[in-house]
Amino acid sequence: MPIIQLSLLINAPIDVCFDLSRSIDLHMESTSHTNERAIKGRTSGLITAGETVTWEATHFGIRQQLTSIITEFDPPHKFVDEMVSGAFKRFRHEHTFKKQNGGTLMTDQFDYTSPFGLLGKLTDVMFLRSYMERLLMRRNEYIKSKAESEKRYPF
């Protein structure tokens, strides 16, 4: 069960960072290289407690769908999304936000289990963990860029 933890200091208010992180539209922009799009549940705007979203994307040349639900919601400090169905055996993605040095420390903890037992563990070691880290870092850098820009992201 790999756990990926990433933190990034953003020079923007905590509420801006929180809202950008739960924006369906921003998520699609930040993952455009995978053609990721929301196709069911919440498909635009800001996702909130109890809502689901089904994402469709191409990873490793394979078109996939993944549905997650917001299981914890404590604005503007934390929200958690957990997989309901999809390629992983399970995942839990915790997003936390803390005021720090006049900005916001944004932390992701992505805890997942790959399918296929031993083969899944081997896949994690060989490439999946680093792929997921890069995907999360790219998304976080996109959030940082939007949050720190002069023009605030429209909600």
Give the containing element (helix H, strand E) for 133: helix 129-148
What is the spatial distance between Cα 70 and Cα 132, in angstroms, rounded to a whole number?
20
pLDDT tens-place string over residues 67-105:
999 999 999 999 999 999 998 999 999 999 999 999 999
d(CA 67, CA 85): 5
> Which tokens is 6 given?
């990433």
State the residue for tokens 């394979």.
62
Q: How far apart are CA 26 and CA 30, in angstroms?
A: 6
- Rounded distance, CA 84 to CA 44, Å? 19
Q: Give pLDDT, residue 155.
A: 57
Structure confidence at residue 2 (pLDDT): 83
Quick one: pLDDT band at residue 139, thresholds 50, 70, 90?
very high
Give the predicted TM-score (pTM) of the model: 0.91
Q: Decide the pairing of beta strands 90-100 and 103-113.
A: antiparallel
